[in-house]
Structure 1
Amino acid sequence: MSYFLDGLAASVTPFSLLVIIIGVLWGMVVGALPGLGLVIAVTLALPFTYSMSVSDALLLLVATAAGAQFGNGVTAITVGIPGSPSAVLTVVEGYAMFKRGEGGEALFLNLVAAFIGQVLGAVGFVLLIVPLAAVAPNFLAPEMFALTVIGLLAVATLTAGDTLKGISALVVGLIFGTVGADPVASVPRFVLGIQENYRGLDIVAVTVGLLGLGELLHQLYTGTFARSGATSAAAAKAHAKQAPQRLRVWAPLSSLPPVLVAAAFGCVVAFFIGVIPGLGATAATFIVYQQLRLVARRPDELGKGSREGLVAQNTADNAVVGGELVPTLGLGIPGSGSMAVLMGALVLQGIEPGPNVLQTRPELTGTVAAGLVIAGLFLLPLGWAFSYYAFQLTRVWPAAIFSGGISLILLGAFAAEGRIFDIYMIILFGVVGFLLRRFDFPVAATAIGFVLSGLLETNFRHGVLITEGSIGAFFSRPITLILLLFAAGMLVQQWFWNRRRTRRRKDAPETTESPVTK
């Protein structure tokens, strides 16, 4: 446990604390702006990590994630627009409370839920990462190859309703990863005569373009920004009628104990969902909400402005970050799009996430855990003040959000190495990301496929060398065999699940009832 103390010591220096505060504030602002969210918040923060140490870079990105998850809920409560899909159910419960004059209480419960989720998520991260560190020495190249296959298939099958589309998007990312020098023989491939491509496509340009610029272009195309502006104006009129509630972001302390069971339930379920690569915060919040009726004291109030429903799903939205960090740092498999960006930051710092990190740089896991807890502590005062004034932020002109987001993305890319080529690449992959979203392909699968392509190929090639050129020998290694069989089982299970869902859709009678309020 000494390395956790080392990580904690690295997190409480004056500069590191300042980095955490900036990350929390930045995440809250971006997360609260309609149409943006966690992935874009982390993506926009990535260029600022280039000149930082590894520990401070991790602290900035983790604090940004904590702030963004909280900011999502603020917008959903005050305006009725989720900052990201994971906050959809906050609209159902929180905005209903706002409309009946309980907006201040809803914002306070959102803050408490975010704090609980961050801290308990950090505890879960510590408890799971320690066993991973113990077994890490048993994972050589064949085992790492099998683990990477599991991560890729998990993302491809769980982030898309159509498994074929998910795998296709994943293959696109793997193809992009083959550009540049061969990782073993250093033979250039698919460089198209472009000098900058000899060292491979820049990981920042690809991930920021796909996940950041691509998302902004898609929202511009679908009119999300225009709708958010109209809804904000409508919400402003409702807010003016309830002006006293904005002066008191508070709830009676006696109202907290009844919702703690829901908070604990949301934390535990969401954390373990986050550990599974590809599911993410959206799936976690919906699963928690659907199962909440089993533990809720007043299940009949769900969907009507329930405090238990609000706290459970907001706690889940924040606890899932700690869960996603387990496979990202412990196995080198990003748990979500935002974790793919975090992996990119580590790669740029010369750190290869996975079991090697647990052996060579174990203090980084302590840094991450400390960062989550400290960010949660700063979230209490900063989030309270932010909730008080946040409604004015949601009234920002939608065009300013769009143009400002694109400007930050391009400026950050150029500031990294001062190359115009990086801007061209971000624009190119922004268009690719937009087209993938336009035709319902999971962009996260493409981004994660690109990030993991080098790890997949390197471990496969080294595994073949270990087994003296025999691919079949992979299956003679017990751990590798179990992992590959598990990966095959995931594909089979997803195929049966898709068939069952298609059959149910055909047999189910048409209804206008919302699935959220059932």
Structure 2
Amino acid sequence: MDSSLVMIGLTNVLSFNNIACILGGTLLGLFVGAMPGLSATMALALLLPLTFSFDPATGLSMLASLYVGASYGGSIAAILLRTPGTPSAAATVLDGFPLSQQGRAGEALGVSLFASFFGGLMSGIALLTAAPLLGTLVLEFGPVELFAIAVLGITIIGSLAQGSVISGLLSGGLGLLLSTVGMDLTTGTPRMTFDQINLFGGIDFTVALIGLFSVPQALTLIENSHQGGKVASRITDRLMPRWSTIKQLMPNILRSSGIGIVVGLIPGTGGDTASWFAYNEAKRFAKDKSRFGKGEVAGVAAPEAANNAVVGGALIPTIALGIPGSSSTAILLGALMVQGILPGPNLLTDYGDVTYTLIWAVILANIALLVVGLAFTKMSVSVTKIPDGFIACAILTLCIIGAFAINNSLFDVGLMLGFGLFGYWMSKAGVSPAPMVIGLILGPVMETSFQQSMLIGNDSFGVFLESPIATVLLILALLSILQATPFFRWLRVPFKRRLKPD
């Protein structure tokens, strides 16, 4: 770990502008997370165009804090409305809403806030420690290894996406195809531009991002707007949990935070998987399992600690290897691309100052979450009552403004709406847009490194087998596809039967 870069990152994040952006981003994330139907990914996609004029450190700090704030904010609607504000808050509903019905909504939100704080802080420390250790491997990485990393990133996220492995890989492959639109990176030849001058520079990553993640959610909210008003539980008790409660929950919080960090390391899993895993473990370790589902504070602490711990865990492969651990971290990589920083293992070396600023911003954002959460959680109850139709109109307006502001082009607005309609169709078909976004990010890296590898190997594919690192990565990519095929599932069933006692 380069201590000078660590201190530069800390100095950057402690500037007045960055601290103000972290507090503002955390507050915005808290409100976005509290709105049922919205997600951190959608909010990041909408906020990304606003950070174009910012310094890279300031823009990344604001995006990271919004990510952290929205991860906790989802529990507000889950506890008060029995409706998860974000998908990762679904497990919080099981015990959070019964607690609010018992007049203990403040206690549930307070436990959720402190568990989120501890989980996020632990993952931030893990990120600060683990990412540089993995980053030392970058000295061994050349074009051949970079190509293998890009292939692994596509296959892992494609195979772990919602639905079948085929649909996930199809989505990722489509993203790779779209990344080739524009001028060839080596020869300068136009490809798939259809004589449209606006496509000669390729498809703008941010335009596609806004369309794929924001427009479908707005259309879904319009669909559900006829379901009537929302009635939230009132907070009548104290928000600050007692020290005895925190002390009693601490083993559960530490265990759940560890689960969140480990799950976050696996690209494509996300906070919802970690939350259910942590909830199940909390119930398994509990002395009285019958209390779960009826208003047990441990059932709130476990998923919330794991949910926020995923943030730092997902950023470890994102920063160390350039493989986004989730759709939200893919947008953070997109923010780096907007600033002219290409994703890949060189983030910690060539752009160490910006990367360490992002790491420190995650840690500081969790401290800001505790402060902002205590001050504004009660106020955010009113946010949960905003009609879905109004939210949808606001989202669509921000989508159009954001897409136009990128290049001051109406063509980009039309392209964004086209991606939005396609993303809405994908959501109805059960196909995740996340692999497509990963394909758009990793496509240029894969193409450039492949061409360079072919030059190194004199147009021989054997060059990928001459590098031990590339060989291992490509084998892992192959296994990630095969493990989800029907044949491997058929093999696992007899194996599991052999393990069962007679």
The answer to whether TM tops 0.5 is: yes
1:338 aligns with: 328
Unaligned runs of 5+ in 2: 498-502
1:462 counterpart letter in structure 2: Q
Equivalent runs, 1:112-127 vs 2, <5 Å:
112-127=114-129
Q: How many residues align?
A: 493
The one-letter amino acid of 1:211's match is F
2:485 maps to amino acid = W
Contact persistence 1:73–1:90 (CA under 8 A): yes
> Residues 268-279 of structure 1 correspond to what in structure 2 (within 5 A)?
268-279=258-269
Partners of 1:218 and 1:457 in 2: CA distance = 35
Specify which of 307, 322, 326 is matched with residue 317 of structure 1: 307
Counterpart mapping for 1:463-482 below 5 A:
463-482=453-472
What is the alpha-carbon distance in structure 2 between the residues aligned to residue 424 and residue 387 of structure 1?
38
Please state how far the C-alpha of 1:496 moved relative to its aligned partner.
5.2
Could you tell me which amino acid in structure 2 is paired with residue 82 of structure 1? P
* Cα distance in structure 1, aligned partners of 2:395 and 2:491: 38
Segment of structure 1 superposing worse, 284-293 or 89-98: 284-293
Match of 1:449 among 439, 442, 449: 439
Q: How does 1:90-129 map to 2 (within 5 A)?
A: 90-129=92-131
Q: Does 1:280 align with 2:282?
A: no
The offset of 1:219, in angstroms, is: 4.2
Residue in structure 2 matched with residue 374 of structure 1 by the alignment? 364
8 Å Cα contact 2:65/2:362 also seen in 1: yes
Deviation string 1:48-96 (CA, Å, 9 cap, x unpaired) is 1100111111101100101111110111111111112111011111111
SS of the equivalent of 2:258 reads: helix
Identity of aligned residues (%): 31
Instruction: Report the equivalent of 1:296.
Output: 286
Tell me which amino acid in the other structure corresponds to 1:108: G
Equivalent position amino acid for 2:63 in 1: L
Rounded to whole Å, the distance in 1 between the matches of 2:286 and 2:143 is 46
Which deviates further from its counterpart, 187-196 or 378-387?
Answer: 378-387
Q: Find the partner of 1:425 among 408, 415, 438.
A: 415
Structure 1 counterpart of 2:411, one-letter code: F
- 1:416 corresponding residue in structure 2: 406
1:407 to 2:397 alignment: yes
Instruction: In structure 2, give the amino acid aligned to 1:251.
Output: P
Q: Is the 8 A contact 1:115 1:379 kept in 2?
A: yes
Q: Give the whole-Å Cα distance in 1 for the aligned partners of 2:487 and 2:388.
A: 39
Which residue number in structure 2 is paired with residue 439 of structure 1?
429
Q: Distance in 2 between matches of 1:97 and 1:353?
A: 44
The letter for the 2-side match of 1:483 is L
Q: Which amino acid aligns with 2:9?
A: G
The aligned counterpart of 1:78 is 80
In structure 1, what is the equivalent of residue 43 of structure 2? 41
For residue 500 of structure 2, what is the aligned residue in structure 1? Answer: none
* Mapping for residues 201-350 of structure 1, pairs under 5 Å: 201-221=203-223, 223=224, 225-227=225-227, 229-230=228-229, 232-233=230-231, 235=232, 239=233, 245-246=235-236, 248-350=238-340
Aligned to 1:516: none
Give the whole-Å Cα distance in 1 for the aligned partners of 2:226 and 2:114.
32
**2:236 match: secondary structure:** helix
Distance verdict in 2 for CA 1:128–1:441, change over 3 Å: same
**Counterpart-to-counterpart distance in 2, 1:39 and 1:255:** 32
Measure the CA separation in 2 of the matches of 1:361 and 1:491. Answer: 32
CA distance in 2, matches of 1:175, 1:214: 22
Q: 1:394 aligns to what SS in structure 2?
A: helix
- In 2, the alpha carbon distance for the partners of 1:143 and 1:299 equals 48
Deviations 1:206-229 (A, max 9, x none): 1111111123224434x2x444x5
Deviations 1:490-513 (A, max 9, x none): 112122598359989xx9xxxxxx
What is the CA-CA distance between 1:179 and the residue it aligns to? 0.6
Over 3 Å counting, the alpha-carbon distance change for 1:285 and 1:226 in structure 2 is farther
Contact 1:137 1:355 in 2 (8 A): no
| Alpha carbons 2:78, 2:93 under 8 Å: kept | yes
SS in 2 for 1:355: coil
Deviates more, 1:330-339 or 1:287-296: 287-296
Deviations 1:232-253 (A, max 9, x none): 13x4xxx3xxx5x435323222
Q: Distance in 2 between matches of 1:196 and 1:65?
A: 32
- Once residues 202 and 463 of structure 1 are traced to their aligned partners in structure 2, the CA distance between those partners, rounded to angstroms, is 26
**Displacement of 1:303:** 2.2
Q: C-alpha displacement at 1:384, in angstroms?
A: 1.4
CA RMSD of aligned residues (A): 1.9
Tell me which amino acid in the other structure corresponds to 1:368: L
Report the AA paired with residue 253 of structure 2: A
Q: How far apart are 1:172 and its partner, in Å?
A: 1.5
CA contact (8 A) 1:8 1:370 kept: yes
Partner of 1:62: 64
1 CA distance for matches of 2:363 and 2:206? Answer: 27
The CA deviation at 1:297 is: 4.3
* Alignment match, 1:155: 157
The whole-number CA distance in structure 1 between the counterparts of 2:28 and 2:491 is 40
Matches of 2:66 and 2:469 in 1, distance apart?
36
Q: Look up the SS of the partner of 1:494 in the other structure.
A: coil
Deviates more, 1:206-215 or 1:6-15: 206-215
- Bigger drift between 250-259 and 204-213 goes to 250-259
2:16 aligned partner, one-letter code: P
Rounded Cα–Cα distance in structure 1 between residues aligned with 2:56 and 2:490 = 46
Aligned twin of 2:452: 462
CA distance, structure 2, for counterparts of residue 248 and residue 388 of structure 1 = 10
Whether 2:30 is the aligned partner of 1:28: answer yes
Go from structure 1 to structure 2 and tell me whether the alpha carbon gap of 1:497 and 1:22 turns closer, same or farther (over 3 Å shift): farther
2-structure distance, mates of 1:185, 1:260: 58
CA deviations over 1:359-407 (Å, ceiling 9, x no partner): 1111223212211121111112211122112211111121111101111
- 2:218 is aligned with what amino acid? L
Q: Give the aligned residue type for 1:339.
A: T
CA distance in 2, matches of 1:193, 1:394: 47
